[in-house]
Amino acid sequence: MASLLDMRRRIKSVKNTQQITKAMKMVAAAKLKRSQDRVTAARPFATKMSEVLGNLSAKVAEDFSHPLLDQRGDQNYLIVLISGDKGLAGAFNANVIKATQAFIKENETKNILMITIGRKGRDFFRRRNVEIRNEYIGLMGGQANFSNVSQIAGNLIEIFTQDTSIDKVFLVYTEFKTVLSQQPVIKQLLPIARESAASSDGMTAEYIYEQPPAEIFGKLLPKQVETQIYRGMLESTASFFGSQMTAMDSASKNAGELIDTLTLNMNRIRQAAITKEIIEVVSGAAAL
């Protein structure tokens, strides 16, 4: 049986851990609010931009060709994986990694390359001999900004346009729904799909533009790639903080329950020690 001193040390240790988890929960909650606001602001722009470009590219499909629109084969895939740089966030990193593993298993006959954004995804797939073309560390956790995303998107576009052996590029990230719900998402990033979206009344949108298609798409298509990666990073950041806040809240509650259990055991040990001392005193007095 543990001594009274050991129990006191364990209780003190658990209380210290509980203070850390409570502090991490408060920090995650504050960062979650800012990240959630950024996601809410970015979603409408990203969605509308995809819709507009889909309509435009479908209308000029016969008259215009662009490397980011041209359909290729279906054998060589490049996966852009967005994960966290840190742990202690529940199942956030595990879920997006599992989704990526499932996608790779479904396409086991394909040749897979990866670009990783975040330390956890990079470390996991590096140990599994997956070829990592580029890696970006230290951009998650609230550090995502459009200048960093522009560099990532520029490198990705350069790889896709210069390496014609890459047929498709997929973006894997975690979509933020609520604090308790985050969903891994896998979507094709390149080549950009040519599709004409119909409105709610069944009518397709009509656009009037003055510049030639080459000038319009030359600027908008790279911007579309940047926007989708930026949205993925914002969604993943908000999901990370939501998952971390939930995990730290659960850890704090579990620590409280453990402290109660240890305190009860400590009181029992102390009571047993006092009872033993009383018995020894009484026994000594009776012997005299």
**Please, what are the domains in the chain?**
4-22+247-277 (1.10.287.80), 23-245 (3.40.1380.10)
For residue 197, what is the DSSP state? -
* CB contact burial 25-61 (16+ within 10 A = b; e otherwise): beebbebbeebbebbeebeeebeebbeebbbbbebbe
Q: How confident is the model at residue 200 (pLDDT cuts 50, 70, 90)?
A: very low
Identify the residue with better confidence: 176 or 197: 176
Which SS3 state, helix, strand or coil, does residue 80 take?
strand
Please give the average per-residue pLDDT across 157-178, as a whole number: 88
Cβ density class 92-101: b for 16+ within 10 Å, e for less? bbebbbebbe
| Reported pTM | 0.84
Does residue 204 carry a pLDDT above 70?
Answer: no
In this prediction, residue 151 carries a pLDDT of 87
Cα–Cα distance, 71 to 190 (Å, whole number): 9
Q: What is the pLDDT of residue 22?
A: 92
Q: How many C-beta atoms lie closer than 10 Å to residue 2's C-beta?
A: 13
